[in-house]
Each structure stands twice: as C-alpha cells, then as structure tokens.
Amino acid sequence: MKKFILLCLLSSISVIGAEELKIKSDTFTSDQNKGVSVFSGNVKMVKSSDELNASKVTIFTDKKNKPQKFVATGDVSFVLSTKEGTRYRGVAQKVIYIPKIKEYRFYKDVHLKQIGDKKEILGDEVIFKTTEGKAYAKGMKKEPVIMIFDIAEDDANETNSTAKKETK
C-alpha cells in the first residue's frame, strides 16, 4: 500500500502551537464534520524533536479544527521532550496526548526512560506533564510501579576511604 506523507495537509492538524506536525502512515481517513482524523498502519508522527510511532493514531479536533486530543494505539513507541529540554524514550500500548495542557497519558505495559540518565518508570498507567516535568504512575495489575534510578555514592566512598586511612 502506498504511504501517504501528510505535511500540513489538514489545517486541523498542521499546527500545534507554532510547530509543524508531520504524519506519515499507510492509510488516512477524515470526517471534518465529526472532527476526527484517523491514520492507520506504520504511523510516524514528528513535531520538532518529538516522535511517536504506532499502529493507529486518531486525532480529535474542535469546531475550529484545532486538535484537542491525540490517541495512539498498538505498540506505541515515542521520544519526547519537556519544556526544559529533558528527553524521554518509551513504549506503551496506548498513548493519549492533550495539547492544551501538554500532557501525555500512557497505558498498559508502560516503560518510560529519561535519556542520558538512569531514571525509569514501569507501570500500567503513567501521566506525564511536559510543562512541569512531573510524572504520576499506577502499578500493573499484578505488580507495583517500578522506578529505577542511580544513587550517587560519592560521599560514602570518600567516608570509607577516610576511615580506611585512619585505621592503617
């Protein structure tokens, strides 16, 4: 099937803020009266340095064709940035993005990892607020939320070194 490259094709999805949104997929359908656009098959969305890949992305718009909600489903993978420039990489089975409040909601088999740092969240539901750099998580059905991060032990190593020198 031919791939569609939709670059500023619909005014309803061409601009979020002042940035260009590029969507590439195998198929595309739209109903402007209902305010729904559906991209299916190998969907790749790129906006600035953010990227999202999924089997299907549905975009819901208001009467002025302004995007209100993005829903990505099916083996979703993503790279996104906070307002301060911190970057995250992750996967989930479903992702909802609310542009007005710049909030991502990740569902089912969520794994969110900060790029360049050992900070990770695994859970069944994670809400990530990009403007605040805050995340909220709920555990999986049979498992708790898992958070992984490095703890600097520089002070402990210095104390141990000093204690060893004094005992010699």
Type and span of the H or E element at 26:
none
Q: What is the CATH number of the domain that holds 107?
A: 2.60.450.10
- Residue appearing with tokens 């969507």: 23
Residue 48 in domain:
yes
Residue 123 in domain:
yes
Distance, in Å, from the CA atom of 168 to the CA atom of 146, rounded to the nearest integer, reads 42
Q: What is the mean pLDDT of the chain?
A: 79
Type and span of the H or E element at 81:
strand 67-81
Judge residue 96's burial from the number of C-beta atoms within 10 Å of its C-beta, 0-12 exposed, 13-18 middle, 19 or more buried: middle
What letter would DSSP give residue 164? H
Residue 42 in domain:
yes
Closest by CA to 130, choosing from 10, 7, 17, is 17
Structural domain containing residue 23: 4-160
- For residue 6, what pLDDT band results from cuts at 50, 70 and 90? very low
Residue 166 in domain:
no
Residue 47 in domain:
yes
Residue 168 in domain:
no
Higher pLDDT, 116 or 28: 28
Number of structural domains, the chain? Answer: 1
